[in-house]
Protein backbone atom coordinates (compact mmCIF):
# COMPACT_ATOMS: atom_id res chain seq x y z
CA UNK A 1 0.00 0.00 0.00
CA UNK A 2 1.24 3.42 -0.80
CA UNK A 3 0.13 6.64 0.73
CA UNK A 4 0.77 9.21 -1.90
CA UNK A 5 0.19 12.75 -2.84
CA UNK A 6 -3.44 12.14 -3.85
CA UNK A 7 -6.24 14.01 -2.13
CA UNK A 8 -5.62 15.17 1.40
CA UNK A 9 -7.13 12.89 4.01
CA UNK A 10 -6.89 15.44 6.81
CA UNK A 11 -10.36 16.41 7.99
CA UNK A 12 -10.48 19.85 9.55
CA UNK A 13 -12.57 19.73 12.73
CA UNK A 14 -15.87 21.65 12.69
CA UNK A 15 -14.79 24.32 15.17
CA UNK A 16 -11.50 24.99 13.33
CA UNK A 17 -13.40 25.48 10.08
CA UNK A 18 -15.89 27.81 11.75
CA UNK A 19 -13.11 29.80 13.46
CA UNK A 20 -11.40 30.16 10.08
CA UNK A 21 -14.67 31.37 8.54
CA UNK A 22 -15.22 33.79 11.44
CA UNK A 23 -11.77 35.25 10.92
CA UNK A 24 -12.39 35.70 7.18
CA UNK A 25 -15.79 37.25 7.83
CA UNK A 26 -14.38 39.74 10.32
CA UNK A 27 -11.57 40.78 7.98
CA UNK A 28 -14.01 41.62 5.22
CA UNK A 29 -14.25 39.61 2.07
CA UNK A 30 -13.47 40.48 -1.53
CA UNK A 31 -15.19 43.60 -2.79
CA UNK A 32 -17.43 43.96 0.27
CA UNK A 33 -20.60 42.90 -1.56
CA UNK A 34 -21.11 40.04 0.92
CA UNK A 35 -20.25 39.80 4.60
CA UNK A 36 -21.08 37.59 7.56
CA UNK A 37 -20.44 37.14 11.25
CA UNK A 38 -21.67 35.34 14.35
CA UNK A 39 -24.95 36.35 15.97
CA UNK A 40 -23.83 35.56 19.49
CA UNK A 41 -20.18 35.67 20.51
CA UNK A 42 -21.03 33.51 23.55
CA UNK A 43 -22.33 30.61 21.44
CA UNK A 44 -19.49 28.11 21.91
CA UNK A 45 -20.95 25.90 19.16
CA UNK A 46 -20.83 28.79 16.65
CA UNK A 47 -24.23 27.90 15.20
CA UNK A 48 -26.05 31.17 14.45
CA UNK A 49 -24.67 33.56 11.85
CA UNK A 50 -25.89 36.67 10.07
CA UNK A 51 -25.02 37.30 6.45
CA UNK A 52 -25.40 40.43 4.36
CA UNK A 53 -25.60 40.73 0.60
CA UNK A 54 -25.53 44.02 -1.29
CA UNK A 55 -27.72 43.66 -4.37
CA UNK A 56 -25.83 43.44 -7.67
CA UNK A 57 -25.77 46.33 -10.18
CA UNK A 58 -28.16 46.41 -13.14
CA UNK A 59 -30.76 44.29 -11.34
CA UNK A 60 -33.91 45.07 -9.34
CA UNK A 61 -31.74 44.32 -6.29
CA UNK A 62 -29.29 47.18 -6.93
CA UNK A 63 -28.81 49.41 -3.90
CA UNK A 64 -30.61 47.04 -1.56
CA UNK A 65 -29.01 45.40 1.44
CA UNK A 66 -30.29 41.93 2.23
CA UNK A 67 -29.93 40.30 5.64
CA UNK A 68 -29.82 36.53 6.01
CA UNK A 69 -29.61 34.02 8.83
CA UNK A 70 -27.35 31.00 8.49
CA UNK A 71 -27.51 28.15 10.98
CA UNK A 72 -24.61 25.70 11.16
CA UNK A 73 -25.86 22.66 13.03
CA UNK A 74 -23.62 20.03 14.63
CA UNK A 75 -23.20 18.25 11.28
CA UNK A 76 -21.68 21.33 9.57
CA UNK A 77 -19.54 21.29 7.40
CA UNK A 78 -20.52 17.74 6.40
CA UNK A 79 -23.99 19.12 5.69
CA UNK A 80 -24.74 22.69 4.58
CA UNK A 81 -26.09 25.30 6.95
CA UNK A 82 -29.75 26.20 6.75
CA UNK A 83 -30.06 29.56 5.01
CA UNK A 84 -32.97 31.97 5.39
CA UNK A 85 -33.45 35.50 4.17
CA UNK A 86 -34.53 37.89 6.93
CA UNK A 87 -35.08 40.68 4.38
CA UNK A 88 -38.03 39.99 2.08
CA UNK A 89 -36.91 38.99 -1.40
CA UNK A 90 -38.50 37.48 -4.49
CA UNK A 91 -36.17 34.83 -5.95
CA UNK A 92 -36.87 31.47 -7.57
CA UNK A 93 -34.88 29.55 -4.91
CA UNK A 94 -36.42 31.34 -1.89
CA UNK A 95 -39.68 30.29 -0.22
CA UNK A 96 -41.99 33.35 -0.50
CA UNK A 97 -43.69 32.51 2.83
CA UNK A 98 -40.70 32.27 5.16
CA UNK A 99 -37.54 33.30 3.28
CA UNK A 100 -35.91 29.86 3.48
CA UNK A 101 -33.49 29.12 0.64
CA UNK A 102 -34.68 25.86 -0.94
CA UNK A 103 -31.63 23.59 -1.14
CA UNK A 104 -33.18 21.66 -4.06
CA UNK A 105 -33.44 24.86 -6.11
CA UNK A 106 -30.04 26.31 -5.17
CA UNK A 107 -27.05 24.44 -6.60
CA UNK A 108 -24.41 24.99 -3.93
CA UNK A 109 -26.72 23.65 -1.19
CA UNK A 110 -28.03 20.80 -3.36
CA UNK A 111 -24.46 19.72 -4.23
CA UNK A 112 -22.82 20.61 -0.90
CA UNK A 113 -19.18 19.72 -0.26
CA UNK A 114 -17.44 20.21 3.07
CA UNK A 115 -14.86 22.54 1.45
CA UNK A 116 -17.61 25.07 0.72
CA UNK A 117 -18.15 27.95 3.13
CA UNK A 118 -20.77 30.49 4.17
CA UNK A 119 -18.90 32.99 2.01
CA UNK A 120 -19.42 30.70 -1.00
CA UNK A 121 -23.16 30.50 -0.25
CA UNK A 122 -23.53 34.29 0.01
CA UNK A 123 -21.48 34.87 -3.15
CA UNK A 124 -23.57 32.32 -5.06
CA UNK A 125 -26.82 33.86 -3.81
CA UNK A 126 -25.62 37.25 -5.05
CA UNK A 127 -24.82 35.71 -8.45
CA UNK A 128 -28.28 34.11 -8.43
CA UNK A 129 -29.83 37.58 -7.91
CA UNK A 130 -28.20 38.66 -11.17
CA UNK A 131 -29.28 35.54 -13.09
CA UNK A 132 -31.76 36.18 -15.95
CA UNK A 133 -34.64 34.48 -14.10
CA UNK A 134 -34.20 36.68 -10.97
CA UNK A 135 -32.72 40.01 -12.08
CA UNK A 136 -36.05 41.63 -13.04
CA UNK A 137 -38.52 39.97 -10.64
CA UNK A 138 -40.79 42.43 -8.83
CA UNK A 139 -39.52 42.80 -5.27
CA UNK A 140 -41.33 43.39 -1.97
CA UNK A 141 -41.00 46.89 -0.51
CA UNK A 142 -37.49 47.62 0.75
CA UNK A 143 -37.06 47.28 4.51
CA UNK A 144 -39.70 44.54 4.90
CA UNK A 145 -38.85 41.29 6.67
CA UNK A 146 -39.98 37.67 6.93
pLDDT of res. 2: 43
Look at residue 6 in the predicted model and tell me its pLDDT. Answer: 52
Q: How far is Cα 53 from Cα 128, in angstroms, rounded to an integer?
A: 12
> Between 3 and 135, where is the model more confident?
135
Q: What mean pLDDT do residues 105-122 have?
A: 97
Q: Residue 30: what pLDDT?
A: 78
CA 134 – CA 114 distance, rounded (Å): 27
Bridge partner residues of 48 (DSSP) = 71
Beta strands 48-54 and 65-71, pairing class: antiparallel
Residue 94 CA, distance from chain mean position = 13
What structural domains does the chain harbor? Answer: 14-130 (3.10.110.10)
pLDDT in tens, 4-48: 445 556 788 899 999 999 999 888 777 889 999 999 989 999 999
Q: What is the mean pLDDT of residues 71-81?
A: 97
pLDDT of residue 1: 41
For residue 3, the model assigns a pLDDT of 45
Dump pLDDT digits (tens) for 20-31.
999 998 887 778
Q: Provide DSSP, the chain.
A: ----SSS--PPPPHHHHHHHHHHHHHH--TTSSEEEEES-TT-TT--EEEEEEEPPTTSTTTT-EEEEEEE--TTTTTSPPEEEESB----TTB-TTT-BB-GGGSHHHHT--TT--HHHHHHHHHHHHHSTTTTT---PPTT-B-
Q: Which pLDDT score, from 0 to 100, does residue 36 have?
A: 95
Q: Name the average pLDDT for the chain.
A: 92
List CB contacts of 83: < 8 A, sequence separation 6 or more: 51, 68, 69, 70, 100, 101, 109, 121, 125
pLDDT of 87 strictly over 70: yes
pLDDT (mean) for 120-141: 97
pTM (predicted TM-score): 0.90
Amino acid sequence: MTFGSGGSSVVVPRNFKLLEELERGEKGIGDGSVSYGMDDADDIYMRSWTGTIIGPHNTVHEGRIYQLKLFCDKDYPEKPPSVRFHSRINMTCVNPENGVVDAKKFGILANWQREFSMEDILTQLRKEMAAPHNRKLVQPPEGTFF
